[in-house]
């Protein structure tokens, strides 16, 4: 709206009106300060996703100008005054695209308007919120001419960040000696299940301040000391840790109703005369250090405590042990990836007079150092499907017959991907009952299997197969022994769960049997047993070996060509292992079908 004065008015009347208008509307164009002032800016904050936010607050003030007062503008009284909140993804208050509904402010000669707004927290990210008051200012655009100009006052933008909530909790554990001095080097273990029932194991080593910090997913865990610092005895204290969206709760296992605020594991120093330190080295066949082998010391301390120490070799192939007085067995529990573990074992005797280590094969001869040597796992030939088992001259296969220990080793020597050079003499004094001297002839006698057995020993695949230094070549191979031998041709799959009821934790072949079962090579019997000490049959041998080699007979081909098969054993046609026997004893070419099945194309005599 414009007010315009006509020139026909007398000079006197014009002066009177001008004075009156100046009294009422003193702000003209070019005033130094706009009518509305921001006296309170909104304050930013951070929130979790969907957390209830504190309302933002902004205040605008207007004081109608008075004669002789500051050079404030004049709000035009008949135009609407509105307040509106806006937000932007940028750190700016200039955008007007995203806004809340405007609120009307009543006109008065003095206005103090405080407006609030609750920012949204339903989206992760950062937004900037600001309030804007919109109004019109009366401005003299020329002498005698007034106009109402749109104006606005804007607050500073308030930064609001919405953060996704963590599905984890943090806490710290302390480790001290009995005098409260922090201890570095203790391994604190947190083990349990997440809310999604995923197993988790966290091992954290205390730092120089004796602290171990954990960040764990929501779930239920047990907190223990897995290993004490060198020279100290680990505590057997145990805590229950519950991590939930509502926080972290820790209870002593002995008093599950007592909430623990600070967990402190306290170690007692072992008297110097009771501790001994030694190192073990791990190399390959060329003497190159190997990382990642698990060396185990297991036995009973002088105090009567059962002790099991598992130490993984470092980059230098070294595992370091600190043990109390007692008697222990030192062995390699698990080899690095791509290698077979050695079956060498040592007797460790820790006494007040010193530490003595003996090779278990020479218990009266102390050794100065221990080096476990690993050989690479020799791959088997899974591509060429030649016959690796034969029947008997009478036309039978005799699936229920046993196989000797020597026959089993010779069979696997023929299945290696790298063909054995039969012209090379690999014989060595590994086993007294394999290579021996004939006192009557004065020369070394060589049983038919001697070179292959010694070759396989040299390849490192007979570890644990002969546990007493004797090979016993003509004895029937047991199911446990065959599973042990077969397990040396692929990486061992260790598991803490015993699959068969008759294979206890202390069975000499438990880790090999469990590994073979985990890979699907062996199944056991319907009653949940494995019969580890029973002699393995020829039918069971070919079934297991075919699974290792991923070979499976073409049943359709055998059915169509039954009359012309090079071998058609009379005693297996209805046997449960018929297909496995034919796969093992019939050399053939094959293709792989679309379903991954084996399609025979040619058979060999």
Per-residue pLDDT tens over the stretch 464-499: 888 777 899 999 999 999 999 999 999 888 887 888
Residue ranges, CATH 2.60.40.10, the chain: 168-269, 273-376
User: Rounded to 5 degrees, what are φ and ψ at 518?
Assistant: -65, -30
Largest Cα–Cα separation, the chain:
157
What number of other Cβ atoms are within 10 A of residue 596's Cβ? 8
Could you give the C-alpha distances from 71 to 22, 134, 191, 200, in angstroms and in order?
12, 20, 73, 71
| Residues 138 and 74 sit within 8 Å (Cβ to Cβ) | yes
Per DSSP, 79 falls in state S
Query: 273-376 belongs to which homologous superfamily?
Result: Immunoglobulins (2.60.40.10)
Tell me the pLDDT of the chain averaged across its residues: 87
Could you give the C-alpha distances from 476 to 8, 249, 472, 529, 535, in angstroms and in order?
135, 58, 9, 20, 6
Q: Which residues of 254-280 are buried (b: 16+ CB within 10 A; e: fewer)?
A: eeeeeeeeebebbbeebeeebbbebeb
Mean pLDDT for 231-255 is: 88
191-211 pLDDT per residue, tens: 999 888 888 889 999 999 999
Contacts of 483 (CB under 8 A, 6+ apart): 509, 512, 513, 516, 521, 522, 532, 544
pLDDT band at 605 (very low <50, low <70, confident <90, very high): confident
The predicted pLDDT at position 48 comes to 79
**CATH number of the domain at 11-163, please?**
2.60.40
Helix (H) or strand (E) holding 546: helix 538-549
pLDDT band at 353 (very low <50, low <70, confident <90, very high): confident
CA atoms of 321 and 227, how far apart (whole Å): 11
Angle at the Cα of 374 from the Cα atoms of 494 and 435, rounded to 5 degrees: 110
CA atoms of 3 and 140, how far apart (whole Å): 10
Query: Would you say how long the chain is, in residues?
Result: 605
518-555 pLDDT per residue, tens: 999 998 999 999 999 999 999 999 999 999 999 999 99
Q: Between 450-458 and 405-415, two packed helices, what is the crossing angle to 10 degrees?
A: 60
Task: Map residue 185 onto helix, strand or coil.
Answer: coil
pLDDT band at 146 (very low <50, low <70, confident <90, very high): confident
Residue 16 has pLDDT above 80, yes or no: no
Residue in the block written with tokens 């020139």:
7
| Residues 363 and 403 sit within 8 Å (Cβ to Cβ) | no
User: What pTM did the predictor assign?
Assistant: 0.52
| Residues 509 and 465 sit within 8 Å (Cβ to Cβ) | no
CA atoms of 276 and 353, how far apart (whole Å): 10
Residue 277 has pLDDT above 80, yes or no: yes
pLDDT band at 18 (very low <50, low <70, confident <90, very high): very low
Q: Which fold has domain 168-269?
A: Immunoglobulin-like (2.60.40)
pLDDT band at 288 (very low <50, low <70, confident <90, very high): very high
pLDDT band at 72 (very low <50, low <70, confident <90, very high): low
313-351 pLDDT per residue, tens: 999 999 999 998 999 999 999 999 899 988 889 999 998
Residue 141 has pLDDT above 90, yes or no: no
| Residues 265 and 186 sit within 8 Å (Cβ to Cβ) | yes
Q: Which residues of 502-541 are buried (b: 16+ CB within 10 A; e: fewer)?
A: ebeeebebbbbbbbbbebebbebeeeeebbbeebbbbbbb
Residue 67 has pLDDT above 90, yes or no: no
The predicted pLDDT at position 273 comes to 54
pLDDT band at 271 (very low <50, low <70, confident <90, very high): low
| Residues 219 and 193 sit within 8 Å (Cβ to Cβ) | yes
């Amino acid at each position: 709206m414009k007010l315009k004065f006509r020139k026909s008015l007398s000079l006197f009347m014009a002066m009177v009106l001008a004075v009156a208008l100046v009294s009422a509307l003193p702000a003209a164009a070019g005033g130094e300060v706009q009518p509305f002032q921001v006296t309170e800016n909104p304050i930013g904050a951070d929130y979790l996703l969907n957390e209830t936010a504190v309302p933002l607050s902004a205040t605008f003030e207007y004081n109608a100008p008075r004669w002789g007062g500051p050079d404030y503008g004049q709000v035009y009284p008949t135009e609407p005054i509105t307040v509106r909140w806006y937000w932007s993804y940028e750190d700016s208050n200039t955008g007007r695209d995203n806004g809340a509904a405007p609120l009307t402010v009543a006109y008065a000669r003095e206005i103090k308007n405080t407006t609030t707004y609750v920012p949204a927290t339903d989206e992760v990210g950062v937004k900037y919120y600001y309030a804007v008051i919109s109004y019109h200012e009366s401005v003299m655009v020329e002498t005698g001419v007034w106009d109402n100009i749109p104006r606005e006052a804007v607050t500073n933008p308030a930064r609001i960040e919405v953060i996704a909530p963590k599905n984890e909790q943090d806490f710290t554990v302390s480790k001290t000696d009995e005098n409260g001095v922090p201890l570095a080097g203790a391994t604190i273990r947190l083990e349990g299940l997440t809310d999604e029932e995923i197993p988790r194991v966290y091992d954290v080593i205390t730092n120089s301040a004796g602290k171990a910090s954990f960040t764990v997913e929501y779930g239920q865990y047990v907190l223990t000391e897995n290993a004490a610092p060198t020279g100290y005895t680990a505590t057997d204290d145990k805590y229950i840790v519950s991590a939930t969206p509502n926080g972290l709760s820790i209870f002593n296992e002995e008093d599950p109703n007592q909430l623990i605020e600070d967990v402190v594991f306290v170690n007692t120093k072992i008297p110097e005369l009771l501790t001994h330190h030694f190192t073990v080295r791990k190399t390959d066949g060329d003497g190159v250090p190997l990382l990642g082998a698990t060396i185990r010391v297991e036995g009973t301390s002088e105090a009567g405590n059962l002790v099991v120490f598992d130490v993984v070799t470092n980059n230098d192939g070294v595992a370091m042990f600190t043990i109390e007085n007692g008697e222990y067995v030192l062995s390699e529990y698990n080899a690095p990836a791509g290698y077979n573990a050695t079956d060498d074992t040592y007797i460790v005797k820790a006494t007040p007079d010193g530490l003595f280590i003996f090779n278990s094969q020479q218990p009266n001869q102390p050794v100065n150092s221990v080096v476990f040597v690993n050989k690479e796992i020799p791959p088997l030939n899974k591509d060429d499907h030649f016959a690796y088992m034969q029947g008997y001259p009478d036309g039978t296969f005799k699936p229920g017959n046993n196989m000797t220990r020597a026959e089993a080793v010779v069979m696997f020597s023929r299945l290696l991907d790298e063909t054995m050079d039969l012209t090379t003499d690999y014989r060595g004094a590994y086993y007294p009952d394999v290579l021996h001297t004939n006192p009557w002839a004065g020369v070394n006698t060589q049983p038919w299997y001697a070179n292959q057995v010694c070759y396989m020993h040299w390849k490192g695949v007979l570890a644990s197969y002969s546990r007493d230094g004797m090979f016993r070549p003509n004895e029937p191979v047991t199911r446990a022994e065959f599973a042990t031998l077969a397990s040396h041709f692929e990486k061992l799959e260790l598991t803490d769960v015993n699959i068969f009821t008759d294979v206890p934790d202390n069975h000499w072949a438990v880790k090999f049997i469990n590994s073979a079962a985990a890979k699907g090579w062996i199944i056991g019997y319907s009653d949940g047993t494995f019969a580890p000490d029973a002699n393995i049959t020829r039918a069971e041998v070919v079934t297991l070996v075919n699974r290792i080699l991923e070979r499976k007979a073409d049943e359709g081909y055998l059915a169509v060509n039954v009359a012309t098969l090079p071998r058609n054993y009379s005693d297996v046609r209805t046997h449960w292992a018929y297909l496995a026997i034919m796969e093992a004893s019939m050399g053939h070419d094959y293709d792989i079908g679309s379903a991954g099945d084996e399609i025979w194309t040619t058979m060999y005599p």
